[in-house]
Amino acid sequence: MDNSMHIRPIEPKDHDAILALNEASVAVLSPLNNDQMVKLIAQSCLHAVVEIEGVVAAFLLVVGPKTAYRSINYQWFDEQYDDFYYIDRVVVHAHYRAQKIGQTLYQYLIDQAYHNHVGLLCAEIDIAPPNEPSLHFHRKWGFKEVSTLTHSAEKSAEKIVSLQVCVIN
């Protein structure tokens, strides 16, 4: 990891930056307002930002099992598995993409999973419309599709996600 790159838990001072990053990527993930973000951070078992020279360049939110998180994607995994980390969102600022920040966050996540004896990572990736960069990224980390889930939207096109898992050895 670059010496100027620092991974640390999310702090209240990061909230505005996280909301801005989330909004910039809202095409491929759910929108968040401040109240929803604070609740999601509280529900998460792991949350972190990547800070580069004082700037929040990326963030990670992970939810564990048996949490009251209302995401239908999360709920599917929670019904299927007893012990897992559900990767709710990983967002890297456009300026910092292609600098291995996503890889650094995933290695951090895997290290935390090992440390906490969690053997399964879960994620969903859009397949209709497709999020090709995310599909490619997750394939490189060993994620495999276990199911799909269709999200019906009243005012927009139907969205289909690939529900994927990665076994941590």
Q: Hey, where are the domains in the chain? A: 5-167
Chain-wide mean pLDDT for the chain?
92
**DSSP symbol at 129:** T
- Helices 34-43, 15-24: axis angle to 10 degrees equals 100
Residue 64 structure tokens = 């564990």
Find where tokens 């076994």 sit. 167
pLDDT, one tens digit per residue, over 122-153 is 999 999 888 898 999 999 999 999 999 998 76
- pLDDT tens column, 36-73: 999 999 999 999 999 999 999 999 999 999 999 989 99
- Helix (H) / strand (E) element for 77: namely helix 72-80
Sign of CA dihedral 18, 21, 23, 25: negative
pTM: 0.91
Give pLDDT, residue 153: 65
State the pLDDT at residue 89.
Answer: 92
Nearest to 86 by CA among 100, 107, 67: 67
Q: How many CB atoms lie within 10 A of CB 13?
A: 9
CATH of the domain spanning 5-167, picked from 3.10.20.740, 3.40.630.30, 3.40.50.2300, 1.10.340.30: 3.40.630.30
Q: Would you call 157 helix, strand, or coil by DSSP? A: coil
Site of tokens 């790159």 = 5
